[in-house]
Amino acid sequence: MEGLPDGFPCEPKPNAPGGFGLAAAILDLPERSRRLAILDVVQYQLMRMAAREGWATAPLRAAYDACVADGLELHLVSKPKASPDRRLTAHVAYTIDGNGDGRTTLHVQDRGGESVHRSEAWDSPNESHTFTRIGQSLRWLDRRTVNVYTWPGVPPPKKHFPVEHTVELPADPPAG
């Protein structure tokens, strides 16, 4: 395609901004290569826009380099919330996986910072701005039960999709 670097992972898409979009073959790449290819496409578009608008490109290059240095992964962590008896804290962590899907995990720690529970990864929207609402939805129902909405205020992708998760932690071990 005219104006794109050789081997660029795009194909013509007349209705897409710039007239091109990600090539379907990008899905066949190994995860790290796929993430890098997507970042390259975003960077290419940003640099074109910066040139057209007369913006400085150094911040865009620095952001690109930081993404690569961070392993092309996004990790967000909510503020911890204390259990009613103040013995435990819970927070949620969020990432976007190599397929572009959002994933949220619940983490519970004791006062000493030792992990008490880590949930499986739950499906979440793949828009990082919804993460703030996921973190805000985290609440303790009692001293051993934590609840979180992983699709807060966002329509889930299909009917009967789990949008809320409640985790009941094991009972306290007997005092020894």
Q: Does 5 reside within a domain?
A: no
Per the domain annotation, does 31 fall within a domain? yes
CA-nearest of 94, 39, 25, 46 to 72 is 39
28 with 110, same domain?
no
Give me the pLDDT at residue 19, please: 61
Q: Domain tally for the chain?
A: 2
Q: Are residues 85 and 40 in the same domain?
A: no
pLDDT surpassing 80 at residue 3:
no
Nearest residue to 79 via CA among 107, 103, 102, 119: 107
* Whether residue 110 is found in the same domain as residue 163: yes
Q: Is residue 1 part of a domain?
A: no
Residue 4 lies in a domain: no
Helical ranges in the chain per DSSP H: 31-53, 58-69, 131-137
Residue 80 and residue 136 in one domain? yes
**Structural domain range at position 97:** 75-168
**pLDDT tens profile 28-84:** 788 888 888 888 888 888 888 899 999 999 999 999 999 999 888 888 999 999 999
Question: Given pLDDT bands bounded at 50, 70 and 90, which one contains residue 87?
Answer: very high
In the block, tokens 């789990």 appear at 162
Task: Clarify whether residues 43 and 14 are in a common domain.
Answer: yes
Does residue 49 share a domain with residue 88? no
- CA pair distance 134, 166, nearest whole angstrom: 13
Residue listed under structure tokens 């701005």: 129
Is the domain of 79 the same as that of 162? yes
Whether 111 has a pLDDT exceeding 80, the answer reads yes
How many helices and strands (H and E) does the chain possess?
3, 11
Q: Is residue 150 part of a domain?
A: yes
pLDDT digits (tens, 9 = 90+) for 115-160: 999 999 999 988 778 889 999 999 999 999 999 999 887 777 777 7
Residue 174 belongs to some domain of the structure: no
What's the CA gap between 132 and 76, in Å, rounded? 9
**Coil, strand, or helix at residue 155?**
coil
Total Cβ atoms within 10 A of residue 2:
6
| Same-domain check for residues 81 and 63 | no
30 and 57 housed in the same domain: yes
